[in-house]
Amino acid sequence: MTSIDTSLITTDDASDGTASPPRTGRRYSPEGRRSLLLTILLWLCVLYFVLPLWWLFVSSTKNNSALFSTFGMWFGGDFSLWENLQTLFTVRDGIFLRWMLNTFVYAFVSAAGATLLATMAGYSFAKYDFPGKKLLFSATLGAVMIPLTALALPTYLLFSQAGLTDTPWAVIIPSLVSPFGVYLMRVYAADAIPDGLIEAARVDGAGEFRIFAQVGLRLLGPGLVTVFLFSLVATWNNYFLPLIMLNSSELYPITVGLAQLQSAASAGGGSQALFSTVITGSFVSILPLVIAFLFLQRYWQSGLASGGVKG
């Protein structure tokens, strides 16, 4: 795994600007050298990524009959977004809202826990020397390669023996492990927290935990946001784990819920306007994460790299 080691070190060098200063880039690419061809190519690619989402939005404004009779990429029929939303939030006694809330809770608790555990472990690996450090870190890195869904089956069996299946814990506890988060935080902490600062705090008589909480955490900001967001997305988007762990539909997260709605719609032949509900539900369900990424881009992008705001 040594080959991976340097990638994120360089990534993080840029974020605090201590090591080799990031390029400003401008010097070598004066405005006059923009390429029209490249601009066109880039925006064609953007179309590929954005048009499906545009379709999703347009379709969520249509009722079930317009969905199947008008051109998909443009508005048609009556503007039914409000009716669709109303149906969505009232279908089966408002279970959609319940699913959204479940997703919020599972994703936030898991991400907060995973980030805390990863940060403490990463900090320890980066800033202390102790016997067994190499072995433990290698084990952590090796675990990055274990396919988590392959673990889901035995985890399910263990949880069912412990009577924990069909509870929120069955989704949250397995999501707390983030070996990649530990790796990221180790690399990040190694650069972001100067050893001298820790030494100075020790000389002042601060305990190791106070140093971590008051010196370490403060300097790890962008790294924390990056690990938090990526674990948040991992839990938010997870389908396999909640699908096998949960039985009661009032515990479902949005992914499992939508899949269930969809199969009900397919089975019911669309008689209950369910297709438009599934589509509107899909559209509403992606809004929180998309908005979070847009608003927090300053943080997660500076966690990955800085100085690169171009265009």
Partner 1 sequence: MTHSPALASERPASAPPLKKRTTPMKRKQRLAAYLFLVPFFIVFITMLVVPLVYAGYLSLFESKLIGGDVFAGLANYVRALTDSAFLAGLGRVGLFFIIQVPIMLGLALFLALALDSARGRGSKAVRLLIFVPYAVPAVVATLMWGYLYGPDFGPIAQISRAVGLGTPDFLSPESILGSMMNIVTWEFVGYNMIIMYAALRSIPAELYEAAEIDGAGQFRLAWSIKIPAIRPALMLTVIFSIIGSFQLFAEPSLLNAIAPDAISTSFTPNYYAYNLAFINQELNYAAAIAFLLGVVIAIVSYFVQLAGERRERVGHAERGIEP
Q: 165-224: which residues touch partner 1 (CB under 8 A)? A: 173-174, 176-177, 179, 182, 186, 190, 195-196, 199, 202, 208-209, 212
Own/partner long-range contacts of 64-73 (Cβ < 8 Å, ≥24 apart): 64/270, 64/273, 64/274, 64/275, 64/276, 67/275, 67/276, 67/279, 68/270, 68/275
The least CB distance from residue 4 to partner 1, in Å, is 5
Q: Which stretch binds partner 1 (CB under 8 A): 8-16, 84-92, 94-102, 163-171?
A: 8-16
- Which segments of 63-181 are extended strands (E)? none
> Distance (Å, rounded) from C-alpha 73 to C-alpha 44?
16
Q: Is 298 among the residues that bind partner 1 (CB under 8 A)?
A: no
Residues 261-290, interacting with partner 1 (CB under 8 A):
262-263, 266, 278-279, 282, 285-286, 289-290
The least CB distance from residue 28 to partner 1, in Å, is 5
To the nearest 5 percent, what fractions of the chain are helix, strand and coil?
75, 0, 25
> Exactly one of 105, 108, 292, 299 binds partner 1 (CB under 8 A); which one?
292
Q: Is 49 among the residues that bind partner 1 (CB under 8 A)?
A: yes
Residues 90-119, interacting with partner 1 (CB under 8 A):
116-118
> Exactly one of 6, 90, 214, 272 binds partner 1 (CB under 8 A); which one?
6
Q: Is 75 among the residues that bind partner 1 (CB under 8 A)?
A: no
**Contact by Cβ (8 Å): 191, 19:** yes
DSSP string, 42-68: HHHHHHHHHHHHHHHHHHTTS-HHHHT
Residues 115-134, interacting with partner 1 (CB under 8 A):
116-118, 120-121, 123-131, 133
> Distance (Å, rounded) from C-alpha 249 to C-alpha 240?
15
Size of the site for partner 1 (CB under 8 A): 127
Token output for 167: 């509870």
> Exactly one of 78, 90, 250, 293 binds partner 1 (CB under 8 A); which one?
293
The least CB distance from residue 68 to partner 1, in Å, is 5
* Residues contacting 306, CB < 8 A, separation 6+: 14, 15, 17, 22
> Exactly one of 85, 151, 164, 217 binds partner 1 (CB under 8 A); which one?
151
Q: Is 144 among the residues that bind partner 1 (CB under 8 A)?
A: yes
The least CB distance from residue 240 to partner 1, in Å, is 5
> Exactly one of 97, 101, 153, 213 binds partner 1 (CB under 8 A); which one?
153
> Distance (Å, rounded) from C-alpha 302 to C-alpha 225?
10
> Distance (Å, rounded) from C-alpha 173 to C-alpha 170?
6
